[in-house]
Amino acid sequence: MMRHSTFLLFILVPFVGSRNTVAPVLAPVMELQGVDVSHYQKVIDWEMVTERQAVDFAFVKATEGHDYRDSLFCRNWESLRRLGIRRGAYHFFRAFGCGDEQASNFLQFVEMLPGDLAPVLDIERTDGIATEIMLQEARVWLDIVESTLGIRPIIYTNQYFYERYLAGHFEDYPLWIARYSSERPLLTTGKKWDIWQYSSEGCVDGISRRVDLNVFPGGWEMLDKLCWFPASLGTEADVAP
């Protein structure tokens, strides 16, 4: 089962009765737990998911390429809204397709609400296309989605693909990185990741198949920085849960 997790942070504070001695104080740091799903997980009982374990956020596959739309996206998307689980939608990028057509597919299909996580571009295949073309079309998708919604999308990839193809590109975008290990990702560029997908073998009550597990290293205020709040609504605090 998934639970809100913490790790221990050492903070040095003055020790009572001594001017020069410091003692470690253990302070909990919050981490938020999430899953990401698609039609592969079949029909999900989100009520059971929320009853049996703590799932703070969920990403749902929406689209792929220029015309594919996930058959269970709408069901998952609405269930997450109804149950108050912070939600995000992702597009699986195909390098052989035009970035503008793929962006249109996503934007026409996904109806976002204030507080939803920023759109995600899942880029993990070259599809046999030259790297520079893949990067160019990915940039088109990112630019169109950002200019339309007014928020910078999140890039999802695995650590190997990042190091081989993406390192040095898109460095200003939030990064969701997959590394299936007990050790947290450490990227050669020094770029910090925002979300870590640490397993593809999660067992979650209410989801009949294995599911990806993710962690966000921070609390709700930090997560809000990755969420969509239209400018017309004013400050994020006005609409944050």
Domain regions of the chain by residue span: 32-238
- 160, with CB counted inside 10 A (0-12, 13-18, 19+), is exposed
How far apart CA 185 and CA 158 sit, in angstroms, is 10
- Report whether 227 contacts 115 (CB < 8 A): yes
Q: Determine the pLDDT at residue 29.
A: 62
Q: Determine the pLDDT at residue 1.
A: 44
Q: Determine the pLDDT at residue 230.
A: 84
Active site residue 31: no
Residue from 124, 183, 201, 236 carrying the catalytic annotation: 124
Q: For 48-61, how does the pLDDT look when each residue is reduced to its tens digit (9 = 90+)? A: 999 998 999 999 99
According to CATH, the topology of domain 32-238 is: TIM Barrel (3.20.20)
Q: Determine the pLDDT at residue 25.
A: 43
- Report whether 158 contacts 165 (CB < 8 A): no
How far apart CA 227 and CA 132 sit, in angstroms, is 30
Cβ burial 144-158 (10 Å sphere, 16+ → b, else e): bbbeebebbbbbbbb
Helix, strand or coil, per DSSP, at residue 185: coil
What angle do the packed helices 99-109 and 131-149 form, to 10 degrees?
A: 40
DSSP letter at 232 equals G
Q: pLDDT per position in the chain (241 positions), as tens?
A: 444 443 333 333 333 333 444 444 444 467 999 999 999 999 999 999 999 989 999 999 999 999 999 999 999 999 999 999 999 999 999 999 999 999 999 999 999 999 999 999 999 999 999 999 999 999 999 999 999 999 999 999 999 999 999 999 999 999 999 999 999 999 999 999 999 999 999 999 999 999 999 999 999 999 999 999 987 554 444 444 4
Residues 6+ apart with CB under 8 A from 122: 61, 90, 91, 92, 93, 156, 157
Q: Determine the pLDDT at residue 8.
A: 32
Q: Determine the pLDDT at residue 77.
A: 98
